[in-house]
Amino acid sequence: MQGRGLPGDLTGSMALDRVLSQEEIDNVFRNLRETTIDDDPSRRAQAYDFRRPDRIAKDQLRSIHLLHENFSRTLASSLSAYLRAYVIVNLVSVEQLSFMEFSQCLPSPTVISALGMHPYEGSAVLELNPSLVFPIIEILLGGTGHAGGVKLEREITEIEQSILDGIYRIVLRDLKEAWGAVTTLDFTIEASETQPQMLQLLAPNEAVVAISMEVRLGEHVGMMNIGIPSIIIKMLRQKFDQQWSVRKSESSEQEQNRILQLIRDASVRVDTRLEGTSIATEDLLELDVGDVIKLDCPLGRPMHTTFNGVYKFEGQIVDNGRRRCIRLDRYRDPSE
């Protein structure tokens, strides 16, 4: 069957002999790229830096930011009292860097220490700028902290390092209290150096959370930097989540009423006992009706009242006419 136009054999021979021009080939590939440019998966992919496998979530960074804001306020008060000078501490930044980038941001020479983080393995880094260290040393030695505009850029001596021990105790104490809202960390100084390159605690590409704080002491301004391995921060992720759950646990009045309705029918065992009396087993076996036991409890001693076995109140025995009762006079603080 022949169609309209050229015969079939002629059409086939012409199709076989036809050669596409370079312009036609370019148009084919150009149309192909234009139709698939939006569907190309490589254009939707996000770059991943394999040198930083320990990156942590942004919400955890925000928690660390709030934690060290509290630390900076507490530290400002502690240093002001210790140095008897007005100290201002401001949190500048909390970011994640590689350990190499963190080290390169530190001045040289400086005062840098390795901090143990018991009970977790690994070490953090604490750095104090020389522009802050030397005025502090001058104040601790009885000076005013006004160096007359002289900027010292030398390494500190062993004697000056020992003078700073009191400052380190205050910093580590306040840092421990700040982290106490998340977990118990005991910070201890394991080693000290004056050159950041000499304190090789982590691999260059290992990620750290860098906390930078500006410390103002009179006319002097210096930075205090803390670097915590990101792997330890990731291990504490559940602790941070628990911290926020505790903060959000303050229930509304409606929720409190609902919980009260649920526990309204629960029973509580209340006991009040006269304690302090002892008797021999032999005398106990010989007791009979009508015998009197002498108690060692003075009349003025408060009675201990327990709820389900937990000591909660102190009170006195009273008479309501037909039976003896206990009058609750004082709530017992669990911390006592």
DSSP labels for 178-231?
Answer: HHTTT---EEEEEEEESSGGG---S-TT-EEEEEEEEEEETTEEEEEEEEEEHH
Q: Answer yes or no: is 151 within a domain.
A: yes
Whether residue 21 is contained in a domain is answered as no
* Statement to judge: residues 91 and 229 lie in one domain: yes
CATH number at residue 210: 3.40.1550.10
* Range 256-271 average pLDDT: 85
Q: How confident is the model at residue 227, as a pLDDT?
A: 93
Whether residue 14 lies inside any domain: the answer is: no
Count of domains forming the chain? 2
Residues 132, 222: contact at Cβ < 8 Å?
Answer: yes
Q: Which of 145-159, 179-193, 294-308 has the lowest mean pLDDT?
A: 145-159
Rg (alpha carbons) of the chain, rounded to whole number: 37
Comparing 17 with 267, which gets the higher pLDDT? 267
Angle at 152 between CA 149 and CA 157, to 5 degrees: 140
Confirm if 111 and 103 have CB atoms less than 8 A apart: no
Provide the 8-state DSSP code for 165: H
Query: Quick one: 165 and 199 in the same domain?
Result: yes
DSSP label of 280: -
The CA-atom distances, in angstroms, between 305 and each of 177, 298, 323, 331 are 35, 16, 17, 10
Assess contact for 99 and 204: CB atoms under 8 A.
Answer: yes
Residues 141 and 220 in one domain: yes
Q: Is residue 69 included in any domain, yes or no?
A: yes
Band of pLDDT at residue 215, cut at 50, 70 and 90: very high
**For all residues of the chain together, what is the average pLDDT?**
80
Domain CATH code at residue 334: 2.30.330.10
Cα–Cα distances in Å, from 16 out to 11, 20, 49, 150? 9, 11, 52, 90
Give the residue numbers spanning the domain of 284: 270-336
